[in-house]
Amino acid sequence: MTPQARYDAVVVGAGFAGLYMLHRLRGLGLSVRVFETGDGVGGTWYWNRYPGARCDVESMQYSYSFSPELEQEWEWTERYPSQPEILRYLEHVADRFDLRRDIRFGTRVTRAAYDETEHVWRVETDRGDRVAARHLVTAVGCLSAARVPDFPGAASFRGPSHHTGRWPHEGVDLTGLRVAVIGTGSSGIQSIPVIAEQAAHVTVFQRTPNYSVPAWNRPLEPEYQSWVKANYPGLRRAMRESHTGLLDPGNPGSALEAGDEKRAREFEARWAKGGVTFLGAYGDIGISSEANEHAAEFVRAKIREIVADPEVAEKLSPRNHPLGTKRICVDTGYYATFNRPDVTLVDVREDPIVEITPTGVRTAAAEHPADVIVYATGYDAMTGPLLAIDITGKGGLSLRRKWEAGPRTYLGLMTAGFPNLFTVTGPGSPSVLSNMIVSIEQHVEWIADCVARLRAGGVAAIDADPLAEDAWMAHVNEIAGQTLFVRADSWYLGANIPGKPRVFMPYVGGVGVYREKCDQVAAAGYEGFVLSS
């Protein structure tokens, strides 16, 4: 038997989080092994190669801040970065910081078990690796467990079918084909206009219409890029202290107190600017149904303005959830695409999908022929990628068991009973409600500092105190309950996965407030954690 390789730390995943985690831990002089399922770096941006894939956070804000040199040398080309550009950026980062030599690609971690006698994690992979490490960091992404619904007959379909998050690397030529797209979240909304340009016909199967705001994407103005680069330190600080990790601080005023005219002006200005900061028009949009309805109706009016057929416009108009309670989408020509004669919208609440046939999609009312099916059907968000690994902590406690009724963490960083296991942007942290890069950097830096202090102090293990975890979970739930978020059947709540517990997973308190809390905990000698030598 070969002796088990030993590392100071194992990191799972080589996306934005895993790459930076590796860099920081290596900077502390630790031996680190990263395991990555993909054959290259990039995580989300390695997998999501569907037509039109683009980030909805602006380029100048969707980048690492840890290296001023990197920040200055990288040139973004568009207001919103496309998937290929983000992937190029991450490949550059991997090369620049010589990260690849510690990453094992094409390797999925299948199991991780905590060995209490030695205070190490024993990690296994699908390639037969057996390694041990004092610290285990999951950097597995929040939207990486792709989900294809279990439609009857799906296997009988004769043509190719692709989930947007598992798009073939060589691309898919849709020229002249009939394409069925199922799902109208961000991935559907971004890809449908691009697919429609190529395909002979597109049939869009929509279960829930979403609110979408124009991106007004364009080449990045060189003057703007230079200005941001010259002012990065202050701008990054503002992002870290903000609510969402974005530069737009949002208007704290009330939509209810603003008169009709002022409100319309504010919404128009934000629509004209484009992007997710539409949500920041008024401070009460996220908490008052009445305030929210003003913003929602503004978007519906825009849909009616853009879409020529009033019946189609009505079908595209979201009415069953408040604006922003499912992730708001940012599009390029989405609504206008439905004015094309070769694009058909099917409302599957009215006319449900019955089965996939060898030649298309059959709904209760009709057969929709298709040569290709695109599943833009989303992810088992946040917990999916973690629970895909068989993780067992102290006393053989399995994470799947512990989280049966929903994820439980202290600060979204650790879960009691699983010592030395850290989760980057895990449930219970701002994570998907924020600019992910800001949240990733904050977690990575907190974890690296923690590991350094534990090692310096001869501490063998850190674990969350169950009481601190209970209190944190109560707080996470309480503040989510004060918002409209809990009113939508969203993936934030696990509602898109049949049987998944309905628990609001991310922390809505804001990245600035959250960072302060994490820093206070560390400054107080890791309050709420149990340290053992």
Residues that bind ligand NA7 (CB under 6 A): 143, 149, 164, 182-188, 205, 207-208, 327, 348, 376-378, 491, 496
Helices (H), 199-288: 222-230, 232-241, 260-273
CA 300 – CA 321 distance, rounded (Å): 13
Q: For residues 345 and 391, which CB has a smaller minimum distance to ligand NA7 in the complex?
A: 345
Q: Let me know: does 404 contact 501? Beta carbons within 8 Å.
A: yes
Give how far the C-alpha of residue 349 lies from the chain's centroid of Cα atoms, to the nearest Å: 26
Q: For residues 35 and 491, which CB has a smaller minimum distance to ligand NA7 in the complex?
A: 491
Comparing every residue's Cβ against ligand NA7, the nearest one is 185
CB of 337 to ligand NA7, least distance (A): 15
Tokens at 301, concatenated: 């009016």
CA 477 – CA 475 distance, rounded (Å): 5
H/E stretch holding 303: helix 289-306
Q: Let me know: does 397 contact 404? Beta carbons within 8 Å.
A: no
H/E stretch holding 464: strand 461-464
Number of Cα atoms under 13 Å in the Cβ half of residue 141: 23
Q: Let me know: does 459 contact 533? Beta carbons within 8 Å.
A: yes
Q: For residues 491 and 526, which CB has a smaller minimum distance to ligand NA7 in the complex?
A: 491
CB of 19 to ligand NA7, least distance (A): 20
Q: For residues 33 and 327, which CB has a smaller minimum distance to ligand NA7 in the complex?
A: 327
Q: Give the closest residue to 65 by CA, choosing from 307, 288, 228, 259.
A: 228
CB of 200 to ligand NA7, least distance (A): 23
CB of 327 to ligand NA7, least distance (A): 3
CA 434 – CA 443 distance, rounded (Å): 13
Q: For residues 205 and 472, which CB has a smaller minimum distance to ligand NA7 in the complex?
A: 205
Q: For residues 103 and 437, which CB has a smaller minimum distance to ligand NA7 in the complex?
A: 437
Q: Which residues contact 413 (CB under 8 A, 6 or more apart)?
A: 422, 423, 426, 428, 429, 443, 446, 447, 464, 518
Helix (H, G, I), strand (E, B) or coil at 115: strand
CB of 307 to ligand NA7, least distance (A): 18
Q: For residues 288 and 377, which CB has a smaller minimum distance to ligand NA7 in the complex?
A: 377
Q: For residues 90 and 348, which CB has a smaller minimum distance to ligand NA7 in the complex?
A: 348
Radius of gyration for the chain, computed over Cα atoms and rounded to the nearest angstrom: 23
Tokens at 405, concatenated: 């009724």
Greatest distance between any 2 Cα atoms in the chain:
76
CB of 220 to ligand NA7, least distance (A): 21
Q: For residues 1 and 155, which CB has a smaller minimum distance to ligand NA7 in the complex?
A: 155
CB of 188 to ligand NA7, least distance (A): 5
CB of 338 to ligand NA7, least distance (A): 15
